[in-house]
Structure 1
Amino acid sequence: MKLKITPSSFAIVISLLLTLLVVEMFFLNEKKQFELLNKKNDLVFEQDVSKIINNEINNMIISLKTFDLLFKSTGYNPIEFNALAKEVMATNSSISELQFAPQGLIQLTYPHLEHNSAIGHDLNQLEKRGKGVLLSVKNQSLTLIGPVKLIQNNRLSFILRLPIFNEKSKFSGFIIAISDLGNISNKLPLKHLSYSIQGFDPDGQMLTIFDNIIDKKNGPISVFNVPVPNGNWLFSIQNSKHDERMHSIARIILYIIVLVSFFYIYKRERQLLLTNNHINDANNILKLAIFTDELTNIYNRRYMNNIFRQVFFSNITATHSIAFFDIDHFKKVNDTYGHDAGDEILKVFASICLNNIRAADVIARWGGEEFILFMEKTSSIHAKDVCYRILRAVNQHPFLYNGQVIHLTVSIGLTSFSPQNDQIEMVLKNIDKAVYHSKNNGRNRITTI
């Protein structure tokens, strides 16, 4: 006998299939929402961790440079080392030890502990430190190494090295700050989390600082980088796993209440869309706030520093130009007309710059009445044309405030560089000299170095 399905049976089968499809769609949306929430939490966590780590490192850098200035003022007199080191470390709990290594040979440490002292270690001869030493001397800049295990006591720490040079720019040694890993990790929001951290060591590969992720099957792993001087720390965070068992129980319930499921799925999908839009809007607002100057609505110093990092770490060989603008007699404007007038002038000046630069140029407020312009793949000749346009526009623009006309000029410094041949510190130093030369030679002019 041939089996024949009736229209009503067919309708029931179709209804059941549709019900199963809707139920699966519902749980797919649940999983998407779960992943979306994890991404949101990861973003907040990443921002918090990056802020804490960079604040700690920046504080250490400031303290190390302060110590170097104080010690240098004594002619690097060994007798003054302990007193100065004690004074600096009293203001920075992140620093565990300060060291002085003339020509790379560690001769002074504070605090000095005989059973685990690094005194006598020649950094130039240590196999596990050679590449890091060469990197610091070659770049002629402060470098962050680690975390690594200290040779003298196997403590997991990171090392901040500041090379020092004599008047002839010849390497003469290091000022070194050491911080135990716990000084930073105790300040991070890592309680009750499964995570791992890897750090940079130029004498080896990425070193695992900490890892309490027991089973990678317990949940998805989110990975993000935290930029630190001359490297990155790699964070891996394990998120909670989607609970399939509980969802199987819920599926059975949803099979019984089909009509409710349809309505609920619609609400959840709509809520997911709204949540996603809200997160995207919040992220866009956050990025805009981080990289935008609140007064002039152009890019800020943080954004320009990001541009510099990208340019100087790229492998593209090209000549770029940077111009520095300093509004002349700006303090006199504030004193004469008030700070509201000064704010209005800054906004108008930013607008003039935007109207006279090219589409590929990037203008940012560097601080106060100072602005900086980055011109990618631009020689000094073409860069000077852009600067002259701005100079002429400022001269020709009548700045009006409360019916009064304020005539302003701007001093400009200009320099060109190649990331393959120049260091950012030297480039910024040159442009600063150029601006001062314009200031000292009558203002309202462009100086090229």
Structure 2
Amino acid sequence: MDSDSSLYELLNLQLLITQGRQLDIEGGRVSTKDRFAPYLEAAQIWREYGRRTGDPVALRRAAAAAENAGKEAKNAAQAAIAALEQAQTCILSADLFETHELLSSAEDLLAGGRAAIQDDEAVRARFNRVEAQLAARLAVKQGVGEDLELALLAMSHIDRAVERADKRVQHSHANCDKIDAAQARFERGDLLMMVGLDRCDSSLMLAVIKDFEALQSRLDPAYEPVTYSRVVLRLAMAYIWKGEIEGRPDVISEGIALLSTEDEPVDFEHSPLDWVAHKQALALGLQALSELIVNDDLHEKAMQVYGMALKRPLQKGLSLRGQLINNRAICMVKHAELKGDLKALDKAEAGFKAELRVLKPDADPIGWAILQSNLARLYISRGDITGFMIERTEAAYALEAALEIFEEHKLKSLAKAAKSQLERVRDQG
């Protein structure tokens, strides 16, 4: 693993494509003496491109290049490194598209390569980090609120990965090891925040804030722009969620301020998904603050930011796209609920139905189902305000249609939410 993957952060999308294609060609050339190295680096390049854009073609290229690297491996250690790369692509794909079945593939790949890397400290540290990644996702898949033991087991994996990654940084002082150490902390921060949200525990958010403030001071946005951007995102969300739990507008405002700087670490052209994730976090912060202090101007700003993010072209099926659509709809409906404003609900309904007329269920079934579930929430809210049963009947129809698609596409988190709403509607009926 001679290439310095930290340098990829400085490459724009076009340079990543160019380098990925060149490496694919070099790996496939008959005259290339060592095909393992170019194939492995191609897998890393395409994975980085896929992480920033959500492009499924890039993810398939990353998986194919890693598989080719495994075929060209000259010893068990190289085969293990190729398996590690394949596993990371599986986990990334599961993150981007909620294809959770790929987590089992990642588990098998890691199990097959683990025994071969005991003598290589650098590779062992990366194996530990990816194993921690996998453990965190399996805990989330199970439900952190439903199985705290699984979350604690994942946290023990993550803590070991953080410790080993930190030791690597102290030993090598290499930028790629510094970024690996940051990524291990991402796993810990994400899991702590999920448990904190589930249990309304602001002390966990405070732990994340302290950890990421220290991490932020060790990174340079000029040389690690993408990693720095992801640190800022998590730091801001920890402030926003801490403020929500404690009911403190000043704490939420600190998170908003982190996301509102004019000098952004990355722009849309450099990393589309990071840019969109930042905008979604900013909208969530504005939404939380508007609901806490009941401020119409902040609600409008939140809606504008959601709209700005949704105007950007995103791959169909991306979980981030679904989150944006869902969160914007919740923002509209919650605002109407707080004010008991039937006219606002009518406006939101007209907006949802206009989107449904444009969105074809066959072309984008998941987007269509998310809109149906949001429409159902609106009907439930209107029924709560007016007391009319017909609203709940319409909500049930919409939720049944959405649930069928979520289950068909194995989108467990969305299916669980739709099922919970449907049960509530039926109980009230």
Give the structure with the higher percent strand.
1
TM-score bin, normalised by smaller chain: under 0.3
Task: Provide the TM-score with structure 1 as the length reference.
Answer: 0.26
Task: Provide the TM-score with structure 2 as the length reference.
Answer: 0.27
- Larger gyration radius, structure 1 or structure 2: 1
Give the structure with the higher percent helix.
2
